[in-house]
Amino acid sequence: MEHLLSMEDLSTTEIEQLISRASEFKARKSDHPKYNDTFVANLFFENSTRTKSSFLVAEQKLGLNLVDFETSTSSVQKGESLYDTCKTLESIGVNLLVIRHPNNAYYEELRNINIPIVNGGDGSGQHPTQSLLDLMTIYEEYGYFKGLKVLICGDIKNSRVARSNYHSLTALGAEVMFSSPPEWQDESIGASYVDIDEVINQVDIVMLLRVQHERHHKSEVSTFKAQDYHQQYGLNQQRYSKLQSHSIIMHPAPVNRGVEIADPLVEASQSRIFKQMENGMYLRMAVIDTILKGRKG
């Protein structure tokens, strides 16, 4: 694995290997490799708590040297292109780049960058490490993917998580359904759209998505009513009571409590939201370790 840009670039075998490696790190079944003379830069052009912090902890556990980079104090403010920023970091000896950017498929302009790139999220395109940590969480729960029924609810059109998870879960044999307001549906992904109340008692996993107002037209934001959305598409107590006893709740976070999911359900017994966050650090360790080991080989 040279880069990690999209879930569509990974085979099911590679997905399974990454989950296995992350599980080893989590169980402390192997010593952490130490990349003492290896440098990484995290280029986050969008705000982030979980993804950025998770990468930082993963990198430090692997003994990587972190190169300080903040868009607000970089030459990006002087008009420097993403390509030139990355080429500069490559030239001074950075060995790996983690990038989050608001443009879909930003990495297409980075073809001549000669160091690995890990996609930390591209616009409404893909978020491969989020998908992988979701898969790890699901695998911990069930031990398999084939035949699982997964309902993804919310802002599908603007969600890189929905795209990444649809491709990966479908490839692994799960049945993925979407539930969304008509204006936030995206037929190009290929999943079927269902009424949440018709399937809530049948699914194994219900995954809620954040309403991404920052990607909406101003008119959508001004007319949005959180309470109405919660009643029609959110996970409320009534829907929670209909879940099968083995079913789990997931959310990529940040969570808008009382919008996508009722406040008390965020940490309910069937919720795995904070488990996802925990698994994210180990999974990102596995991704970085796999890429850097491949470079050495």
Give per-residue pLDDT as tens, 123-177.
Answer: 888 899 999 999 999 999 999 999 999 999 998 988 888 989 999 999 999 999 9
* pLDDT of 4 over the 90 cut: yes
* pLDDT of 213 over the 60 cut: no
Q: In sequence order, what are the beta bridge partners of 248?
A: 205
Supply the angle between the helices 160-171 and 12-27 in degrees, to the nearest 10. 100
* pLDDT of 236 over the 60 cut: yes
Grade residue 220 by pLDDT with cuts at 50, 70 and 90.
low
Cβ neighbours, 10 Å, residue 44? 18
Grade residue 270 by pLDDT with cuts at 50, 70 and 90.
very high
Binding site feature residues for carbamoyl phosphate: 50-51, 100, 127, 130, 253-254
* pLDDT of 8 over the 70 cut: yes
Q: What is the pLDDT of residue 74?
A: 80
Q: Residues 154, 41: contact at Cβ < 8 Å?
A: no
Grade residue 33 by pLDDT with cuts at 50, 70 and 90.
confident
Q: Give one word for 102, left, alpha or beta, with left for phi > 0 and alpha for psi -120 to 50.
A: alpha
Binding site feature residues: 50-51, 78, 100, 127, 130, 160, 210, 253-254
Residues of the chain with pLDDT > 90: what percent?
A: 73
Binding site feature residues for L-aspartate: 78, 160, 210
Grade residue 81 by pLDDT with cuts at 50, 70 and 90.
very high
Measure the CA–CA gap between 129 and 140, rounded to whole angstroms: 16
Residue 103, CA distances (Å) to 77, 96, 108, 160 in order: 17, 20, 10, 12
* pLDDT of 97 over the 90 cut: yes
> Which residue type, as a one-letter code, is found at position 286?
A
Q: What is the mean pLDDT of the chain?
A: 91
For the entire predicted model, the pTM comes to: 0.91
> What domains, with CATH codes, occur in the chain?
7-126+277-296 (3.40.50.1370), 128-272 (3.40.50.1370)
Order the strands of the 39-44 sheet from edge to edge. 65-67, 39-44, 96-101, 117-122
Q: What is the pLDDT of residue 199?
A: 97
Q: Residues 294, 1: contact at Cβ < 8 Å?
A: yes
